[in-house]
Amino acid sequence: MQRQNETAPSTNIRTLESVALSATSSAAVASHGWVGRHDKKAADAAATEAMRRVLADAPGRGTVVIGEGEKDEAPMLFNGETVGNGQGVEFDIAVDPLEGTSFCAKNLPGSMATISFAESGTMWSPGPGFYMDKIVVPPQAKGLVDLADAPERTLGKVAKALGKQVGELRVVIMDKPRHQDLIKRVLKAGAAVHAPAEGDVGGSLEVLLPTGPADLLLGIGGTPEGVMTAAAVRALGGDMLGRLAPQRNEEAEAIRAAGMDLERIYTCDELVGGGALFAATGVTGGALLSEPRDSDGAILTESLLISSGEVRRVSHTTFGSMPRMTP
């Protein structure tokens, strides 16, 4: 059922659902061969190339508005790259072929292949900005939060909207040195903190999904992950705010040189302004999605598809066997 105040994707965008699922499933299977091998760049490269092959045959013409990899010199689908067979709709793409590269490399739960599609010209491009400060909240707290607020005030607003005490809240904040003070303040206010080592798309899904265990996400993560998250937020009627948060002087200088305002707060509708969909497929398993597995000559994957106000859990079968890496 579509949620109130939600903008539904156009019919054209919905025709890309099968492409999104095929892209993430292929990337998940390709990277799964690198699970536990402590080579996150090789895993990311395998996911990226598998996803690129699927997108090359997508109906229409897609533009990668924001890709993953440039900020850490990893393999990537690069910004401005065009994909598709040129026959059909035009669309924008935000992509992270392997979110949680370290989880994959170390065989820890939580890594997944992710992608978002949106109507052409509606995805925000951060230019040289690789990191952003974010707040993600569920539909009940929509329109109530502000990045300019102190975290204690944000906790109070969200708790009230959810009919909870602050001490009942569970907040997702990535376990990074830059978040030490934020985590201390949230804990001192009485809320519980879930602090994954990486993976703020997964953390945002924990907030947005109706059965998710978290109440809000705070902190600085990647801009690719932010734009992909905005597509899911928009589809599910939640709320999100973002602001560029450069982590190096060179990044800040490049943002200013591009004429962008480091103080500007972007709304969810500014990050993704049209109909959108989001897809993710599990790589190493975990609470959200199971990992790919062999079954009687076929590979089974589990995906989430978020589109038109719905969350669907999709099983995908590919005939063949899982890739095996040999020395």
Q: What's the pLDDT tens digit per position in 147-180? A: 999 999 999 999 999 999 999 999 999 999 999 9
The structural architecture, per CATH, of the domain 131-271 is 3-Layer(aba) Sandwich (3.40)
DSSP H or E segment with residue 158: helix 151-162
The structural architecture, per CATH, of the domain 11-123+276-319 is 2-Layer Sandwich (3.30)
Question: Which residues have a Cβ under 8 Å from the Cβ of 244 and sit 6 or more positions away?
Answer: 126, 129, 131, 132, 133, 223, 255, 260, 262, 264
Q: Which residue has the higher pLDDT, 81 or 58?
A: 58
> pLDDT tens digits, residue range 268-311?
999 999 889 999 999 999 989 999 998 877 899 999 999 878 89
Looking at residue 87, its pLDDT comes to 86
The radius of gyration of the chain from alpha carbons, rounded to an integer in Å, stands at 19
Binding residues: 44, 68, 96, 99, 225
Looking at residue 321, its pLDDT comes to 62
Q: Please state the length of the chain.
A: 327
The answer on pLDDT for 7 being more than 60 is no
DSSP H or E segment with residue 31: helix 17-32
Using DSSP, state whether 42 is helix, strand or coil: helix
> pLDDT tens digits, residue range 21-60?
999 999 999 999 999 999 999 999 999 999 999 999 999 9
Structure token pair of residue 254: 């490049």
Q: What is the C-alpha to C-alpha distance for residues 56 and 62, in angstroms, rounded to an integer?
A: 9
Looking at residue 9, its pLDDT comes to 45
Looking at residue 135, its pLDDT comes to 98
pTM: 0.88
DSSP state string for 216-250:
EEEEEEEHHHHHHHHHHHHHHT-EEEEEE--SSHH
The answer on pLDDT for 2 being more than 50 is no
Of residues 200, 270, 232, 281, the one with CA closest to residue 26 = 281
What are the sequence ranges of the domains in the chain?
11-123+276-319, 131-271
% of residues, the chain, pLDDT over 90: 74
Q: What is the C-alpha to C-alpha distance for residues 274 and 6, in angstroms, rounded to an integer?
A: 11
Binding residues for Mn(2+): 44, 68, 96, 99, 225
The answer on pLDDT for 71 being more than 50 is no
